[in-house]
Structure 1
């Protein structure tokens, strides 16, 4: 792929600075950029490394003095990181899957494939499955019985879409994602030690050993449009009703969504997030890495949960939370400052005790 700086700028809705006819074949970090690559130096800090590379053109920031940086051409977006979205899409070479149905793929005669669907080696598509037009089914992908995929889906190698899962348009699943595995639902004939401990807040524990009986997952998973699921992430099917994920929501790698969970629109769940069964997540919620949501809770719209936050109670809309257990971020920061002051406080109290003891001994 070869583009002129002018072509790139026009595709981003921006204006090319300098020699717009200059061509590039890709992008690179400034210190390693070749002469035929666009240097990604979106802040002055990154631009310092331009001197170590050979770039002639740079992707900088609004108002940057590109001539002083030794460049022949530049693109100056007002919000560089946002413009990177279109730029990287333009430069993306794709996963490299062949645009055809591989002869080793196993496709049930009862499956329906839309126009221009490609299916990779050793993929399996079950009876009654429906694949939307323009979808790409990568190698060793499994699509189960009566599952539905909207148009423009991209399932990378090793993705598993289980029976009766329903997914909207432009779905992307990274390698190893599993959508529609059974929920983790087990029960004992009588109250278990876990139930007793929960009801008594730990005062009462296990007094007898019991075996676990499995609760089957009769529901499936319903996913909206423009959803992305990261590598080795899992979304469990519901017990009776479907687990649901709203349009525009993105899951990072190693995210676990439990049975019966409802996640709203345009949410962002970062790596190693775990959402326990039957919890409800509102719209536009952001969960940083390793956030944990206990079962049967509600997280309100636009809430932001900082890294490693553990939520044990409902979170109001718009709240920024941090810590274990989760609390308002400003409260957590204040508590952490107090915790760091404790050693000094202990020393001061010890010194005061010594002073009082000496004064008492002198009386």
Structure 2
């Protein structure tokens, strides 16, 4: 599929310059771009690669001199990186899934499929499942009993969705994602060693061997519209009430969301984040990669955590948190500066101790 520079600019709400009827069929980094590619030179530093490639057109930054860069045409957007969202959608060749229902798919007669639904090879759709119009179920997917999937959803290969899950429109799940696995809920007949440590802040008392009984997850998962779930990410079902995910939430790969967790709208949950059971997350929260959040906590709106932050207490709205345990960013930086000064402090103290123990020196 090819587009003219004029068509692309109009679709993105950007300005087109030069030979606007020039056609391109793909995007590329400037140094690797061919004659039919639109080079992504969205910063002056990126534009330095243009002479190494063969691009005739490029997407540039505001105020760029496209003629001086030797181009025949250019697209200039107020915010080039945001324009990339629309541009990448236009240029995405997709996964090549065939339309219609593959003959190897297993679809229960009691399932309901909307108009223009595509189901890939070896996928299973269980009784009572409802699949919205225009949805694509990739190969080797599983959709459980009485699960509802909204319109325009897209499940990549190997996605698994358990029974009675409710998912809104425009849901995207990357390969291997799982929604509706049972929560990690186990209990001992008597107070466990873990509970003793938690209550005493470290003293387990007289520890003894214990076995664990399983608490079944009778709740499910409720997910809003326009949510994306990364590869091998997992959202557990609730113990009694549903685990709830708001609209517009984006999960990166390998995220783990525990039972009964509630996440507000438009949050970013980065790679390898783990959120323990019954924690509540506000709106527009960003959890950096490998952030860990303990159970039964509350994180307010617009909170941001840096990579590998470990949240062990409630976080008020608007905070930027770093470290283990998590603390305000400015506090964490001061603590880090203090740690770096410790070797010098130890040397100074050693000199003082020596001076005090030998006040006369060599005399």
Gaps of 5+ in 1: none
Match of 2:160 in 1: 160
1:131-174 deviation line (CA, Å, top 9, x unaligned): 00000000000000000000001011000010000000010000
Alpha carbons 2:111, 2:129 under 8 Å: kept: yes
Q: Structure 2 matches for 1:156-195, cutoff 5 A?
A: 156-195=156-195
C-alpha separation between the residues in 2 aligned to 1:301 and 1:105? Answer: 43
Alpha carbons 2:183, 2:258 under 8 Å: kept: yes
Match of 2:14 in 1: 14
Q: Does 1:309 align with 2:309?
A: yes
Q: Structure 2 matches for 1:28-43, cutoff 5 A?
A: 28-43=28-43
Q: Does 1:286 align with 2:286?
A: yes
C-alpha separation between the residues in 1 aligned to 2:205 and 2:184? Answer: 22
C-alpha separation between the residues in 2 aligned to 1:348 and 1:40? Answer: 54
How has the CA–CA distance of structure 1 residues 357 and 70 changed in structure 2, closer, same or farther, with 3 Å as cutoff? farther
Alpha carbons 1:194, 1:206 under 8 Å: kept: no
C-alpha separation between the residues in 2 aligned to 1:262 and 1:189? Answer: 29
Number of residue pairs matched by the alignment = 363
Match of 1:318 in 2: 318
C-alpha separation between the residues in 1 aligned to 2:34 and 2:355? Answer: 70
Match of 1:350 in 2: 350
C-alpha separation between the residues in 1 aligned to 2:237 and 2:254? Answer: 17
C-alpha separation between the residues in 1 aligned to 2:219 and 2:285? Answer: 25
1:284-332 deviation line (CA, Å, top 9, x unaligned): 1000100000000000011001110000000000111000000000000
1:244-275 deviation line (CA, Å, top 9, x unaligned): 00011010000000000000000000000000
Alpha carbons 1:110, 1:128 under 8 Å: kept: yes
Q: Does 1:338 align with 2:329?
A: no
Q: Note the C-alpha offset of 1:36.
A: 0.9
Q: Matched residue of 2:48: which SS? A: helix
Alpha carbons 1:192, 1:206 under 8 Å: kept: no
How has the CA–CA distance of structure 1 residues 287 and 348 changed in structure 2, closer, same or farther, with 3 Å as cutoff? same
Q: Does 1:120 align with 2:120?
A: yes
Q: Note the C-alpha offset of 1:211.
A: 0.3
C-alpha separation between the residues in 1 aligned to 2:248 and 2:349? Answer: 55
Name the TM-score, length of structure 2 as normaliser: 0.98
Q: Note the C-alpha offset of 1:354.
A: 3.3
How has the CA–CA distance of structure 1 residues 205 and 103 changed in structure 2, closer, same or farther, with 3 Å as cutoff? farther
Q: Note the C-alpha offset of 1:355.
A: 3.9
Match of 1:273 in 2: 273
Alpha-carbon RMSD: 1.1
Match of 2:129 in 1: 129
C-alpha separation between the residues in 2 aligned to 1:205 and 1:71? Answer: 74
C-alpha separation between the residues in 2 aligned to 1:43 and 1:286? Answer: 26
C-alpha separation between the residues in 1 aligned to 2:359 and 2:3? Answer: 83
How has the CA–CA distance of structure 1 residues 50 and 355 changed in structure 2, closer, same or farther, with 3 Å as cutoff? farther
Alpha carbons 2:26, 2:37 under 8 Å: kept: yes
Q: Does 1:89 align with 2:89?
A: yes
Q: Note the C-alpha offset of 1:48.
A: 1.0
Q: Matched residue of 1:284: which SS? A: coil
1:25-48 deviation line (CA, Å, top 9, x unaligned): 100001100011011111111111
Deviates more, 1:203-212 or 1:304-313: 203-212
Q: Note the C-alpha offset of 1:203.
A: 2.1
Q: Note the C-alpha offset of 1:362.
A: 5.3
Q: Does 1:141 align with 2:141?
A: yes
Alpha carbons 1:275, 1:294 under 8 Å: kept: yes
1:101-144 deviation line (CA, Å, top 9, x unaligned): 00000000000000000100000000000000000000000000
Q: Matched residue of 2:46: which SS? A: helix
C-alpha separation between the residues in 1 aligned to 2:350 and 2:148? Answer: 69
Match of 1:75 in 2: 75
Alpha carbons 2:272, 2:290 under 8 Å: kept: yes
1:167-221 deviation line (CA, Å, top 9, x unaligned): 0001000010000000000000000100000000002345211100000000000
